[in-house]
Structure 1
Amino acid sequence: MERPIILIGQYDSPFVRRVGIALTLLGLAFEHRPWSTFGDAALIRPFSPLTRVPVLVVDGVPLADSHQILAHLDEAAPGGRALMPADPAARLATRRLVGLATGLAETAVGLFYEVRLHDSPSPLLIERRRGQLRATAAVLEGDAAAATPFLCGGSIGHADIAMATAFRFVAEAHPGLLPPGDMPALAWRCAALEATAAF
Structure 2
Amino acid sequence: MKLVGMLDSPYVRRVAISLELHGVQFVHEPLSVFSTYAEFAQINPVVKAPTLVLDDGTVLMDSSLILDYLETLAPTDKKLLPHTPDARAQHLQVLGLALAACEKTVQIVYEHHLRPAEKQHEPWLERVTEQLLAAYSLLEKHLAQATGDYLNQAALTAAVTWSFTQLKLPTLLNADAFPNLQRHARQLEQHPAFKQYPIE
Q: Does TM-score exceed 0.5, indicating one fold?
A: yes
Identity %: 36
Residue number in structure 2 paired with 1:116: 113
Residue number in structure 1 paired with 2:125: 126
Choose between structure 1 and 2 for higher RCO, CA contacts under 8 A separated by at least 6 residues. Answer: 2
Partners of 2:45 and 2:6 in 1: CA distance = 17
AA of the residue aligned to 2:112: V
Match of 1:173 among 159, 168, 177: 168
Long gaps (5+) in structure 1 = none
TM-score w.r.t. the length of structure 2 is: 0.91
Long gaps (5+) in structure 2 = 195-200
Residue number in structure 2 paired with 1:142: 141
Runs (4 or more) in structure 1 with deviation over 3 Å come to: none
Match of 1:89 among 86, 90, 98: 86
Pairs aligned (count): 191
Match of 2:156 among 132, 144, 161: 161
TM-score w.r.t. the length of structure 1 is: 0.92
Match of 2:42 among 42, 46, 70: 46
Higher helix content, 1 or 2: 2
Deviation (angstroms), 1:155:
4.7
Distance 1:147 1:155, change over 3 A: closer
Question: Which string of whole-angstrom CA distances, capped at 9 and with x for unpartnered residues, describes residues 158-184 of structure 1?
Answer: 101110111111111111222221010
AA of the residue aligned to 1:132: Q
Residue number in structure 1 paired with 2:197: none
CA RMSD of aligned residues (A): 1.2
Question: Which string of whole-angstrom CA distances, capped at 9 and with x for unpartnered residues, describes residues 81-130 of structure 1?
Answer: 21111122111111111111111111110111111111121111111111
1:196 aligns with 2:191: yes
Question: Which string of whole-angstrom CA distances, capped at 9 and with x for unpartnered residues, describes residues 141-169 of structure 1?
Answer: 000111024xxxx2511101110111111
Partners of 1:178 and 1:165 in 2: CA distance = 16
